[in-house]
Structure 1
Amino acid sequence: MKPVSSSLADELVRLSREIHADPELAYQERRAAARIASVIERHGVPVQMGIGGLETAFRARVGPPGPSIALLAEYDALAGVGHGCGHNLIAMTNVGAFLHAAAEKDLGMAIELIGTPAEEDGGGKIDLLGAGVFDDVAFALSTHPAAQGSWGVSGTGLGIVGKRVIYRGAASHAGSSPERGRNALNGVIRLFVGIDAWRQHLPKDSRVHGIITHGGDAVNVIPARAEAKFGIRAKDLATLDTMVATFTDVAQGAALETGTTVEITDYLPLYAPVAANTKLGDVLADELRRRGIDAKRGVLVTASTDLGNVSQRVPTDWVRFPVSERPIAGHSDAMRDASASDLAHRNALLVVEALGAAAHRVASDASLRRSIQNGAKVTA
């Protein structure tokens, strides 16, 4: 394939910078989705908006009827941090790869771009899977900026479940009659203490982390209600199930200690562990190598993504690319700033070429498609 033209490169970098400067939260990414659709339509490809019942989801497609290889764009931001996960770059690279591949001829399979909202909070890909949007998708590719400063393909990722925990007690005046109260906040505090004790026994590469979302309304009133949210992460579903059971025991124990009651619900659907396809990884690694990049294979990413749910359904792989010359923290101001840097955009344009070429190879080679379908999954 030819290199990305300077005009397309300029258009893609401009799109990335516009999305970065105008962050929108999960399911509210109206301006980002409209900007992406405008770019695609300028290249003569129609865009279907509002797919799967989600206002900010979309798809664009070129090639013959039937199954497709899908490139998955993300464009939601983080509360308080903006694009501290670099989803402006995920949008840029997948839009660019789609347009780069769509310009080629001899497609034996359709190539699609699917706009997937709400990766950070809600799981837009999970919604779209449930709505049947992926029913005709045979292969999936995507990207993610890397905070750790290295290139990678076939990375694995942790699964996560999100739990909301509500403790209920009895309100009372904290000064004149504290003995008549039951402090719901104490239940939350004891839960955190119990989890801290549990952490030394967690399976390797597992995580439990949380925040207090409500702890009372006045200092002189014993809280009758307190609430916290937790993420529970593990490399496989069996370990995740075991951890959820232990978490429930710890939460109920905290209620018993404090004379309160506890209610545990899901605030986030299951984000499944990422299971990358080795044969798709071979194609991506080869295309990166042709551009002078030696990508690491099979690195465990100890974060979570709803791309994992797609990877459990169809052969999937992704490219991770550096946005900084030194390791930085994800979901941080530093990551947000790096995601708008010249280095990030130079690397993103290399990804556009490699990802577009990989998508075109898969779409135009039936024997390669059969090999990918028979390829092994890389799991953590």
Structure 2
Amino acid sequence: MGVLTTSQTSALRALSHEIHSHPELAYQERHALAAIGGLIEREGHRVERGIGKLETAFRTHIGPPGPSVALLAEYDALPEVGHGCGHNLIAISNVGAFLVAAAVASRLEVGIELIGTPAEENGGGKIDLLDAGVFKKTVAVLSSHPAAQGSWGVGGTCLGVVEKLVTYRGVASHAASSPEKGRNALNAVIRLFTGIDGWRQQLDGDSRVHGIISDGGKAANVIPARAEAIIGLRAREKPTLDAMVDRFVEIAEGAALLTGTKVEITEYLRYYEPVTANAELSDVLAAELARLGIDAPRGQLTTASTDLGNVSQRVPTDAVRFPVTHTPIAGHSDAMREASIADLGHKNALITAEVLGAAAVRVATDRALRERISA
């Protein structure tokens, strides 16, 4: 089995620092793409940029053409906290996995490819790539994510999420001299949140509803003719989430009826479907971790969401969760940003690279395993 060389390890650490020090938001990851592509090309591999009509997406391939095992890299950042989700580590663990697999490319029965997937945090780059047919020949997907929980894991799941922009329109009027002539759009938003608060009592333990008032008017002495809220809905199973959306629409329409306003509900964030893990891939990843003396618990639910869920609903998928701290910290935080550039995070990302690379090779060289994965 291939392993990372000392020079490759150094190059991957440098790549992580380069991405981390130049945080880029969704679909703008040009610096990260240049850095990743440059490393891969220096290793002797061709990089296809702009796949799926996304400027900052890429693909590189080893082995025979046709069906492939895909390793998915992420490299976009967050507003304000930069790489507070550790996507620099996701990038190097999957780039490293590709380099590990490349050392034994002549043995492969199907190809192995590294796919760069932009805009995970906001936009859904993997959904774009799915829609463009990038995964149509993919037999299995492997990836990784740094764990703010401080532990290893495989076979994890995530909630699906839908975000809606709710806009209420009423009638403006002077709030003191002629309030009776107005229809208060802000009151409708407040009724919406009141309805949601009551609804939460009936939700199951894994479901979530959360939101903000994104526009509540501009002056205290003017009854707002327009107000809006952004609401996120999350659930573990797609049918549950679909039913939540239906109920949410009823609550939003009820708030409009109560206040004599009009309501418009539109998509704010694309539908990130729940992540489902393939049990056979979990077995492979757990075995590779065990070979290195690492016990990886299975099946942890993360109550965040990712566009990897959309891929997992269509292609057998699993990911390694690797710790960046010894104790839990908050994700999407300054603490997570600092942990994502520290020694422990890099050490475990590079271990993950070897685990993912070995797992990809196993899948790509074992027809019976591939049949079990797809069964």
Q: Which of structure 1's runs of 4+ aligned residues deviate more than 3 A?
A: none
- Structure 1 gap segments, 5+ residues each: 375-380
SS of match in other structure, 1:370: helix
**1:143 to 2:144 alignment:** yes
- Describe the superposition over 1:136-173 as per-residue Cα deviations: whole angstroms up to 9, x where unpaired: 11110010111111111011111111111001111122
Q: Distance in 2 between matches of 1:178 and 1:79?
A: 39
Q: Which residue of structure 2 lines up, in the alignment, with residue 242 of structure 1?
A: 243
Q: Which residue of structure 2 lines up, in the alignment, with residue 205 of structure 1?
A: 206
SS of match in other structure, 2:167: strand
Cα shift at 1:2 = 4.1
Q: Distance in 1 between matches of 2:20 and 2:189?
A: 36
Matching residue's letter, 1:227 = E
TM-score (norm 1): 0.96
Matching residue's letter, 1:3 = V
**1:224 to 2:225 alignment:** yes
Matching residue's letter, 2:58 = F
**1:99 to 2:77 alignment:** no
Q: Distance in 2 between matches of 1:23 and 1:299?
A: 29
Q: Which residue of structure 2 lines up, in the alignment, with residue 128 of structure 1?
A: 129
Q: Distance in 1 between matches of 2:307 and 2:148?
A: 19
Q: Distance in 2 between matches of 1:236 and 1:354?
A: 29
Q: Distance in 2 between matches of 1:14 and 1:196?
A: 47
Matching residue's letter, 2:187 = N
Q: Distance in 2 between matches of 1:219 and 1:10?
A: 58
Q: Distance in 2 between matches of 1:220 and 1:28?
A: 41
Q: Distance in 1 between matches of 2:170 and 2:286?
A: 56
Cα shift at 1:198 = 1.1
Matching residue's letter, 2:59 = R
- Describe the superposition over 1:194-241 as per-residue Cα deviations: whole angstroms up to 9, x where unpaired: 111111111220011111222222233222111111111111111111
- Describe the superposition over 1:2-49 as per-residue Cα deviations: whole angstroms up to 9, x where unpaired: 432121111111111111111111111111111111111111111111
Matching residue's letter, 1:326 = T
**1:320 to 2:321 alignment:** yes
Q: Distance in 2 between matches of 1:330 and 1:5?
A: 31
Q: Distance in 2 between matches of 1:179 and 1:81?
A: 45
For these two proteins, the number of residue pairs brought into alignment is 374
Cα shift at 1:179 = 2.5
| Mapping of residues 341-356 of structure 1, within 5 Å | 341-356=342-357
Q: Which residue of structure 1 lines up, in the alignment, with residue 293 of structure 2?
A: 292
Q: Distance in 1 between matches of 2:116 and 2:270?
A: 19
Q: Which residue of structure 2 lines up, in the alignment, with residue 251 of structure 1?
A: 252
**1:329 to 2:309 alignment:** no
> Structure 1 stretch 158-167 or stretch 252-261: which is displaced more?
252-261
TM-score (norm 2): 0.97
2:157–2:275 Cα contact (<8 Å) kept: yes
Q: Which residue of structure 1 lines up, in the alignment, with residue 191 of structure 2?
A: 190
Q: Distance in 2 between matches of 1:83 and 1:306?
A: 17
Q: Distance in 1 between matches of 2:86 and 2:125?
A: 17
Matching residue's letter, 2:56 = T
Q: Distance in 2 between matches of 1:119 and 1:191?
A: 29
SS of match in other structure, 1:200: helix
**1:268 to 2:269 alignment:** yes
Q: Which residue of structure 2 lines up, in the alignment, with residue 378 of structure 1?
A: none
Identical residues among aligned pairs (%): 68
- Describe the superposition over 1:58-109 as per-residue Cα deviations: whole angstroms up to 9, x where unpaired: 1111111110000011111111221111111111111110111112131111
> Structure 1 stretch 214-223 or stretch 156-165: which is displaced more?
214-223
SS of match in other structure, 2:139: strand
Q: Which residue of structure 1 lines up, in the alignment, with residue 70 of structure 2?
A: 70
**1:373 to 2:335 alignment:** no
Q: Which residue of structure 2 lines up, in the alignment, with residue 153 of structure 1?
A: 154
Matching residue's letter, 2:226 = R
SS of match in other structure, 1:296: coil
Q: Which residue of structure 1 lines up, in the alignment, with residue 43 of structure 2?
A: 43
